[in-house]
Amino acid sequence: MAISNAKVLKDLNTNFTVVGRGNASAEIFFNITCFRPFVGGIEKILIENNSALFTHTIIATGIDSLISCLKTLVNHSILNILIEKPAALSIDELNAFKDVFMPYFKNILVAYNRRFYRRL
């Protein structure tokens, strides 16, 4: 999904930063998109840069890390978030962090069917 999102953002002439966790996937991403990702994960880029630079985010990781990325972004006050479905491993996992996410409910969208977006 990250590759598809990058193609759309490029077509919209939007400046964006891509964050990956590992070199192998970053190289595949670069070979397909000609866009070099920052490697090291979301926590690292937020620590090494002013998180205020990042106002909007698309989370396109594996299912097992969707919630942890969402928590990290919210904890760094990055609140305009599009997260790939299913957003969590289970509804129980999502509900476990309901108190953390509820204040930002209107700013967190779940990508659903690419024609419609559903709020958390």
Q: What average pLDDT is seen over the chain?
A: 89
Tokens coding 17: 């930063």
Q: What does residue 119 show for φ and ψ, rounded to 5 degrees?
A: -70, 150
CATH of 2-11+41-119, one of 3.40.50.300, 3.40.50.720, 3.30.1180.20, 3.40.630.30: 3.40.50.720
Q: Cis omega (within 30 of 0) on the bond before 86?
A: yes
Task: With a cut of 60, say whether residue 95 has pLDDT above it.
Answer: yes
In this predicted structure, what is the pLDDT of residue 51?
84
Q: Dihedral of the CA atoms 14, 25, 48, 80 (nearest 10)?
A: 40
SS in 3 state form for the chain? CHHHHHHHHHHCCCCCCCEECCHHHHHHHHHHHCCCCEECCHHHHHHHCCHHHCCEEEECCCHHHHHHHHHHHHHCCCCEEEEECCCCCCHHHHHHCHHHHHHHHHHEEEEECCCEEEEC
* pLDDT tens readout for residues 12-65: 899 999 999 999 999 999 999 999 999 999 999 999 998 888 999 999 999 999
Confidence band of 119 (pLDDT split at 50, 70, 90) = low
User: Domain map of the chain by residue range?
Assistant: 2-11+41-119
- Is 17 within 8 Å of 38 (Cβ atoms)? yes
pTM (two decimals):
0.85
In this predicted structure, what is the pLDDT of residue 114?
59
In this predicted structure, what is the pLDDT of residue 98?
87
